[in-house]
Amino acid sequence: MQDQPKNPPLETSLLSYAESAEKAFLASGRRNREADLESAIRFFLEFVRAFESFDFHSPCVSVFGSARFTEGHRYYQLAREVGAALAKAGFAVMTGGGAGIMEAANRGAKEAGGLSLGCNIQLPHEQVPNEYLDKFILFQHFFARKVMLVKYSTAFVVMPGGFGTLDEAFEIATLMQTNKLERFPLITVGKDFWGKFADFIRDTMLREGTISAEDVQFIHPVDTAEDVIRVIREAGLLPDPASVARSADKRARALP
């Protein structure tokens, strides 16, 4: 059994007073200016806490995917392999911090001796921090969580998933398309899962002119953990071996 992440108790969190804050903000329609100002302050505090919590020096890759795959599923095992491969290549691995694919990628990274990070969110179901995290942040707002999942990463791995995974992948693609984000590799893992969706992008969206050919050049479909590392290597983004060794040494000296 892995040690639980060393985070402050939830009751001491800056966010403890903001239960269901996002739903209250989005679902209540027009509100008075004082209520909106209060929400803005909560957004600010959430970002401040997140920036202060994630103080690390390793290059990072974010891994996205469904919370619903169990340990025996082939996609769980594949995500675990991806997490391990990324850690061995010198990357910190960041996920949404929950179960399924997220747990598997964090687990693989931790088992390989890498830094395992999570951006968790309070939900009615599914989203409990997994036990393979070195550090995690608990968010109330999806948009703040997505900023953190994008901010630190130089590549993005999209494993099989549902609406949330699609939302994260398309937001990253949009940021790249509009030059708000460098065109880092956006790697979709599992051609059998993503194949029909890739056909829709090519045969419908591209054909109808809603996107251009250059908009899909940063999307890389692969099937294995080795292919993930190959794409990152070909993009010139693999960490320098000397910096990987220094990061590993710092983590080892930081252990109790």
Q: What pLDDT was estimated at residue 19?
A: 46
Residue 93 φ then ψ, to 5°: -110, 120
Q: Report d(CA 200, CA 184) in Å as an integer.
A: 22
154 within domain boundaries = yes
Q: At what angle do helices 74-88 and 225-234 cross, to 10 degrees?
A: 40
Q: What pLDDT was estimated at residue 95?
A: 97
Q: What pLDDT was estimated at residue 246?
A: 63
4 within domain boundaries = no
Domain CATH for 113: 3.40.50.450
DSSP state of 100: T
3 within domain boundaries = no
2 within domain boundaries = no
For residue 143, the SS3 value is: helix
Q: What pLDDT was estimated at residue 149?
A: 94
> Strand locations in the chain, DSSP E?
60-64, 92-95, 116-121, 135-139, 153-158, 186-189, 219-222
Those residues of the chain that have pLDDT short of 70 are 1-30, 124-127, 242-256
Q: What pLDDT was estimated at residue 114?
A: 96
Q: What is the residue range of 153's domain?
A: 10-254
Q: What pLDDT was estimated at residue 7?
A: 46
Q: In what order do the strands lie in the sheet with 116-121?
A: 135-139, 116-121, 92-95, 60-64, 153-158, 186-189, 219-222
Q: Report d(CA 53, CA 138) in Å as an integer.
A: 10
In sequence order, which residues have a C-beta less than 8 Å from that of residue 140 and are 6 or more positions away?
15, 18, 19, 20, 21, 22, 42, 46, 121, 122
245 within domain boundaries = yes
79 within domain boundaries = yes
Query: What is the DSSP code string of 209-237?
Result: TSS-GGGGTTEEEESSHHHHHHHHHHTT-
Number of domains in the chain: 1
Q: Model pTM?
A: 0.82
Q: What pLDDT was estimated at residue 50?
A: 84
Q: What pLDDT was estimated at residue 72?
A: 95
DSSP state of 61: E
125 within domain boundaries = yes
Q: How far is CA 82 from CA 6, 33, 63, 189, in A?
A: 24, 46, 9, 9
5 within domain boundaries = no
Of 254, 22, 241, give the one whose Cα is nearest residue 138. 22
